Structure 1
């Protein structure tokens, strides 16, 4: 049997070291319930502790175990649903376009300095950079966009090898 601690005032149930805080019904006057797996006791707010033996488990401890298990299942389900919603949003077309544009903008910014009037480039090199940058700007309007949102499946234009971004 599991080890169980119940502290109603704190809305706390601990089972085998796993604590959950949530609202649950309990008997009035209980300060705490302790169960070590074989026996335990109930600590009353006003009065002596009440010992618990194995025969008391089903009536005194098991109801709190069931509440804890139901809350744990509810939290796990909520976490599963939240993760599914997060993944759906992450993989949505709008989010993939946002990531694609952000990476495109980062790559454009890496080459901004090359088009400064006083940066030493030949006309041919300047044209190559301008073509590269235009290819980046055109990427979101290409067929297949947004692919994987700017990841490995995105057909990024090749940056000239002589560019040191």
Structure 2
């Protein structure tokens, strides 16, 4: 049998160390209920503690476990629905285009220095960088865009070999 703590004033039920806080019905004069597997007690605000035995479990302890289980299932369902909504938003075409453009812009910015007037590139290499940058700009308008939002399925243009040279 599980370990159970119930504190109605705090809307708290703890089953096997897992606490949930939610509104539930309990006797108005109950301060707390403690159950430790096969024995326990109920604390009352207007009288002495009442011992609980295994014979009291079904009537006095199990209903709180059922309430806790129902609330836990409800919270899990809410979390699953929120995760499904988050994934739907993440995978929406608008979000994938946003990620694609963000990665495209990052790749463009990474090659900005190559087109600076004082960067030592000959016209052939400069043309290759310009073609690469244009291919990046054209990517969102290609057939199949936004693919996976800039991930592995995106057909990124090949970075020119000159872009791997270190700045000196």
Kindly state the Cα deviation for residue 55 of structure 1 after the two structures are TM-superposed: 1.2
User: How far, CA to CA, are the matches of 1:95 and 1:147 in structure 2?
Assistant: 11
Query: Post-superposition shift, 1:145?
Result: 0.3
TM-score by length of 1: 0.97
Structure 2 portions without partners, runs of 5+: none
What does residue range 72-111 of structure 1 map to in structure 2 within 5 Å?
Answer: 72-111=72-111
CA deviation profile, 1:57-96 (whole Å, cap 9, x unmatched): 1111111111101000000111111111111111111111
Structure 1 unaligned residues grouped into runs of 5+: none
1:34 is matched with which residue?
A: 34
Deviations 1:104-138 (A, max 9, x none): 00000000111111111111111111100000000
- Larger deviation: 99-108 or 112-121? 112-121
Correspondence for 2:147: 147
CA-based RMSD of the aligned residues comes to: 1.0
Shift of 1:163: 1.1
How far off is 1:46 after superposition?
Answer: 2.5
SS in 1 for 2:81: helix
Q: What displacement does 1:162 show? A: 2.2
Give the aligned length: 165
TM-score, normalised to structure 2, is 0.95
Q: Which runs of structure 2 are paired with 1:10-21 in the superposition (5 Å)?
A: 10-21=10-21
Matches of 1:160 and 1:34 in 2, distance apart? 70
